[in-house]
């Protein structure tokens, strides 16, 4: 097959980029940062009150930030690395190869950033994107309400016009890390008379604003990653609305696609030790080196097949998007499968761990890390849209099946 000269040059350039990237990562990623984080405290989330849990964590973050590689594919003017899609894929592959963890975890990067890049005005992009890239501001997401879960568009938090400002009153729930966040991106009802999707606006404000309060929710895992968030006459300038007033649902949906893509990634974390080896620690192996529990071995092997296939599909989803061939609702398909798969992973881990995986408090069990993580995964198929909502979206938007 005759390849064109341009694509030859392109692939040579990409190979050069790969070599340079690999060398840079080798020289700059501390050894401690070349393995997965083992606890939430081990993850760097940035923000005004951020503290590094270790010196290597600080070094790794600062080096990556200075290169723009906390957000490698964002434009350089907003603190990004300005990488092309192909270069970004190379960087991700090289980081995965050495097990390098992300230098910064952030809802600003995963969710708000993409929405601002598409819907934000110049002033908003200049104000917020560089602070996200530099990990200066930690964001939280004000979407769900006590009576607006799967039916998100029925949300009731209201924003009433008062001159150049909105006055916001209401309550959000399941706000991840609201108690640590500096700013919130929030869905509010700006027109209570319009049809439910049409009266919503997407607005940004500081969590230290007068009238904002948070209350952590204790979950079955014993952790409190989510809060209830209350707004009592919170005054926010109208200039903080992203996109048009009353057109916030478009922004919300676009952001949800990114959120779902992020959550689906949980099912294909091919990092750390393979399940088959973890299981061998507790169930043992036979003379041929096979797991001494044939049924569990079969479960793990089927899981591994599906995990490898999902990883290929995630890669293809990115490539399709680059090629302009992606269906906008495909992230719902990935979210469904990725979260169900992650739940399967933890069911297998619990089964493999047996009695050892039941300890909740001991030092030996790292304060019950495994059962708590297992319980945490049960939320994967609820948060960001339940599995049932995802299947409904696929049925209607991709398959075009009839009915409400």
Partner 1 sequence: MALVLTEEQSMLRDSARGLISDKAPVSHLRHLRDSKDPTGFSKELWHSFAEMGFAGLLVPEEFGGSGLGYVEAGVVMEEIGRTLMPSPFLATGVVAASALNRGGNAAQKSEYLPKIASGSLLAALAIDEGAKHRPLQTSLRAVRAGNGFKLSGAKALVVDGHVADLLIVAARTAGAAGEREGLTLFLVDSKAKGIAVERTVMVDAHNAARVEFANVEVNADSVLGEVDQAAGLLDSVLDIGRGAVASEMVGLSEEVFNRTVEYLKSRKQFGKLIGEFQALQHRAAELYIDIEITRAAVMKALQALDADVAKAASAVAVAKARAGTTSTRAVHEGVQMHGGMGMTDQFDIGFFMKRARVCEELFGDANYHTEQLARARGY
CB of 13 to partner 1, least distance (A): 15
Which residues does 147 contact at the CB level (< 8 Å), separation at least 6?
154, 156
CA distances (Å), origin 343, targets 264, 362, 380, 382: 11, 24, 8, 12
CA distances (Å), origin 10, targets 5, 6, 87, 244: 9, 6, 11, 40
What is the DSSP annotation of 334-357? HHHHHHHHHHHHHHHHHHHHGGGG
Nearest CB to partner 1, comparing residues 129 and 389: 389
Nearest CB to partner 1, comparing residues 31 and 289: 289
Nearest CB to partner 1, comparing residues 17 and 223: 17
Nearest CB to partner 1, comparing residues 146 and 298: 298
**CB-CB contact of 335 with 379 (8 Å):** no
For partner 1, the binding residues (CB under 8 A) are: 1, 274, 276-277, 279-280, 285, 289-291, 297-298, 300-302, 304-306, 308-310, 312-313, 315-316, 319-320, 322-323, 325, 330, 333, 336-337, 388, 390-392, 394-396, 398-403
CB of 288 to partner 1, least distance (A): 9
Which residues face 213 on adjacent strands?
A: 230
Is 78 buried (19+), middle (13-18) or exposed (0-12) by CB count in 10 A? buried
What is the DSSP annotation of 148-159? BSSSGGG---EE
With CA atoms as reference, report the closest residue to 131 among 186, 74, 85, 208. Answer: 74
CB of 277 to partner 1, least distance (A): 7
Nearest CB to partner 1, comparing residues 276 and 385: 276
Which residues face 200 on adjacent strands?
A: 189, 247
CB atoms within 10 A of CB 206: 15
CB of 17 to partner 1, least distance (A): 15
CB of 384 to partner 1, least distance (A): 16
CB of 98 to partner 1, least distance (A): 20
Nearest CB to partner 1, comparing residues 50 and 262: 262
Nearest CB to partner 1, comparing residues 97 and 302: 302
What is the DSSP annotation of 197-219? TTSEEEEEEETTSTTEEEEEE--
Residue entry with tokens 């019950």: 368
CB of 53 to partner 1, least distance (A): 32
CB of 355 to partner 1, least distance (A): 21
Nearest CB to partner 1, comparing residues 87 and 145: 87
Distance CA 34, CA 99 (A): 5
């Amino acid at each position: 097959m005759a390849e064109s000269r341009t694509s030859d040059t392109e692939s040579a350039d990409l190979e050069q980029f790969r070599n340079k990237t690999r060398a840079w990562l080798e020289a700059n990623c501390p050894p401690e940062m070349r393995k997965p984080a083992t606890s939430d405290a081990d993850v760097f989330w940035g923000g005004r009150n951020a503290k590094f849990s270790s010196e290597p964590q600080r070094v790794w973050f600062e080096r990556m930030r200075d290169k723009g590689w906390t957000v490698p594919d964002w434009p350089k003017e907003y603190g990004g690395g300005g990488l092309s899609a192909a270069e970004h894929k190379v960087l991700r592959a090289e980081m995965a190869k050495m097990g390098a963890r992300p230098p910064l975890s952030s809802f600003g990067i995963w969710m708000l950033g993409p929405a601002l890049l598409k819907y934000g005005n110049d002033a908003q992009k200049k104000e917020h994107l560089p602070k996200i890239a530099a990990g200066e501001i930690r964001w939280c997401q004000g979407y769900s309400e006590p009576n607006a879960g799967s039916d998100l568009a029925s949300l009731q938090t209201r924003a009433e016009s008062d001159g150049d400002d909105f006055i916001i009153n209401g309550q959000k729930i399941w706000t991840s890390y609201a108690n640590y966040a500096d700013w919130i991106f929030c869905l509010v009802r700006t027109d209570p008379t319009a049809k439910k999707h049409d009266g919503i606006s997407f607005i940004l404000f500081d969590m230290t604003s007068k009238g904002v309060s948070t209350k952590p929710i204790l979950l079955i895992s014993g952790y409190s990653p989510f809060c209830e968030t209350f707004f009592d006459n919170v005054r926010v300038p109208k200039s903080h609305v992203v996109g048009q007033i009353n057109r916030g649902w478009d922004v919300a949906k676009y952001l949800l696609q990114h959120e779902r893509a992020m959550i689906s990634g949980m099912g294909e974390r091919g990092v750390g030790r393979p399940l088959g080896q973890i299981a061998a620690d507790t169930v043992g192996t036979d003379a041929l080196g096979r797991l001494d529990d044939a049924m569990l071995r079969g479960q793990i092997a089927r899981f591994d097949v599906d995990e490898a296939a999902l990883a290929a599909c995630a890669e293809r989803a990115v490539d399709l998007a680059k090629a302009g061939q992606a269906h906008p609702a495909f992230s719902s398909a990935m979210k469904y499968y990725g979260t169900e798969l992650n739940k399967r992973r933890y069911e297998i881990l619990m089964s493999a761990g047996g009695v050892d995986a039941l300890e909740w408090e001991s030092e030996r069990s790292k304060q019950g890390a495994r059962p708590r993580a297992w319980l945490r995964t049960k939320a994967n198929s609820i948060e960001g849209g339940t599995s049932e909502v995802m299947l409904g979206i696929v049925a209607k938007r991709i398959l075009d099946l009839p009915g409400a």
